Amino acid sequence: MELYLYIALFAPLVGSLFAGLFGASPKTLVTGVVNSSLLFASFVASSILLVHVLNGETVHVEMMTWMATGNLYIPFGFVVDQVSVTMMMVVTVVSTIVHIYSIGYMDHDKGFNRFFSYLSAFVFSMMVLVMSDNFAGLFIGWEGVGLCSWLLIGFWYHKETATWAANEAFIMNRIADLGMLIGIFLIYWNTGTLQYDKAFAIMPTLDMTTLIYIGIFLFVGAMGKSAQFPLHTWLADAMEGPTPVSALIHAATMVTAGVYLVVRANPLYHLVPEIGLFIASLGAFVAMFAASMALVNRDMKRIIAYSTLSQLGYMFAAAGLGAYWVALFHLMAHAFFKALLFLGAGNVMHAMNDELDPFKMGGLRKKMVGTFIMMTLASIALAGVFPLAGFFSKDTILEVGFVEHHYVIYTVLLLTAGLTAFYSFRLVALIFHGEERYKLFGFHPHEAYKFMLFAMSPLAILAVIAGSFKTTYFDMVTKLLPETEYHIHSHVVEWVMILGTQAFVIAAIWYAYKKYINFKGEDKEFEKRLCYKILINQYYIPYFYEEYISKPYKELSDILWRKVDLKIVDATVDLIAMTIYKTGENTRTMQNGNLSSMLRWMVAGIVILLSLAVAFGLAVRYSDEITSVLSGLGV
């Protein structure tokens, strides 16, 4: 089994290095094919491991020692258990599909090879993140995915907005990573180990304050990576990257790392339920908050990004309430349909020459049948309509909220489900139905390559059937995670809830269709309203960050640069250099080649050395007297 573990882990790395060899050369199809095959190998290895884990066994290897000094011992250890194998399957399935899809999507791009190198490097980092058996390895993967995310958001580095978005994402993550790092330090400090199993075994003996601090700091890291409020602005801006990147990194895998961390640290959060409640409340808030921003946005990819944010909120809500398996299940289901939605959006973008405004589209279903079907399926799954994947995962989260008696969270999440359905189908209606508005703008849409649609089809199938894995999945994952089934005791209440939610969601879908299917032009009256302005400006949070954080920071930096750096630091360094330079200038006359003057310098040197020798000799001889004199002076 170790062999499969290593294949699953290192095949993407090999692919990345291979594609990296051709990084600077023009497009070579072979990199795309080789990398996709290696990813597929990784997927096959992960599947074999999944079967192994389903049989109730886990794999734990220690590849080599990484750090060993004193009491600190950190190995490169990897573990394949019920939780990490779920993540491995999600990562490898989505990334294999995205790799194949990218061969078509990046077809005309100059950086084709570079793209595959980064993409595979990302998958490798993600695998390290989910497979590591200790916090240090997790952190390496955590930073690795951050780096690859930066590289890929800024992939089109000639675009100012792309580099800006890449830096924003990186800096936001860095702020959060500091919290994460402090959390890891605290764990090491208090438990003396970073291995998950050992550290979690010691945690119940620690005092409450320490645990709360550890929980908070680790969650700060999770907030950054999973773009939770107030560190959420980077995710929408990250849509500047190529669409396959958005599908893989900013929807299916990397942004869920925060959820994975909370799930992985479940013994810790079990001990401090207060933080759990905070996580759940923040999750519910973000779910609603992000969904509301998606309602009015006019950028196809941003709408889907806000939707991702909102679904991450659902996952945190579930994880915070202690329903870790539900969070992980929603993570899995969400990865499938959200990646599908993004890849569909990529097809639409290709068809429309990278146009992102759905108001300029319309009626595309005639030209793009395959994409239309898949995006509709993904949207139904996202909205949570029976019997697609989203129904099973999201409905369970709602039930968790209800059963745990957190009715506020339940209500917020229920309302968000309606909003989700509305904005998803607003998008579908605007893109695929109604009049063919794109003709006005002179677009000539065409369907994507056949193999791209073919590559997407497994995701479409998974988006439909993922819900049926629920029982198997529950049996598997609860060997590791707390086993709580969330059943509403009264059957009547349960049926009312399910049917009510379904009716609500379907009503939202119907309303979205009704409102946007015969979309004529923008509603000027509506756009003047305050609520629209707040939502389209994302609650003025980016504006606030820009005005009250970025600008003062820039001004402060400017002052520090002019006053401190130039006048103090630079001046000091210059002074040292100038002193040495002047000394050299003045003493070079010593080296005038005149023997006579050299001899004089030699004599001077001897005199100095001799006097020093005499002085030190006297000092040593009379050291006692000197000490007594000095002590008399009170030194």
Partner 1 sequence: MEIGLTHYLVLATILFSIGLIGVMRRKNLLMLFFATEILLNAVNIGFAAISHYYNDLTGQMFAFFIIAVAASEVAVGLGLLIVWHKRTGNINLDTMSSMRG
Half-sphere CA count of 397, side-chain side, radius 13 A: 36
| Closest residue by Cα to residue 130 from 83, 66, 67, 168 | 83
Q: Which residues pair with 72 in a beta bridge?
A: 69
- Per-residue CA distances from 167 to 54, 240, 249, 375, 383 (Å): 41, 12, 16, 31, 32
Q: How far is the CB of 604 from partner 1 (least distance, A)?
A: 9
Closest separation in Å from C-beta 605 to partner 1: 13
SS3 13: helix
Distance CA 257, CA 130 (A): 8
Q: Which two tokens stand for residue 434?
A: 């109604």
The least distance separating partner 1 from the CB of residue 599, rounded to whole angstroms, comes to 5
CB of 591 to partner 1, least distance (A): 4
Cβ(203)–Cβ(266) below 8 Å: no
Nearest-angstrom CA–CA distance, 477 and 88? 13
Residue closer to partner 1 by CB (options 451, 601) is: 601
Min dist. Cβ of residue 590 to partner 1 (A):
9
Task: Please state the closest distance from residue 588 (CB atom) to partner 1, in A.
Answer: 7
Question: Residue 496 to residues 40, 502, 504: CA-CA distances in angstroms?
Answer: 44, 10, 12
Q: What phi, psi does 158 have (nearest 5°)?
A: -75, -15
Min CB(582)–partner 1 separation in Å: 18
CB of 578 to partner 1, least distance (A): 22
Cβ 523 vs Cβ 407: under 8 Å: no
- In this complex, which beta carbon is closest to partner 1, that of residue 475 or of residue 585? 585
- Given the rule CB under 8 A, which residues bind partner 1? 588, 591-596, 599-600, 603
**Closest Cα to residue 176, out of 123, 235, 122?**
235
Following DSSP, what letter does each residue of 228-260 receive, concatenated?
A: -TTS-HHHHHGGGS-HHHHHIIIIISGGGHHHH
Peptide bond preceding 230: is omega within 30 degrees of 0, i.e. cis?
A: yes
N-term to C-term CA, the chain: 72
The Cα 281–Cα 289 span in angstroms is 12
Q: How far is the CB of 589 from partner 1 (least distance, A)?
A: 10
Find the length of the chain.
635
| Shortest Cβ 583–partner 1 spacing (Å) | 16
DSSP string across 89-125: HHHHHHHHHHHHHHHHHTTT-TTHHHHHHHHHHHHHH
- Of the pair 471, 592, the CB lying nearest partner 1 is at 592
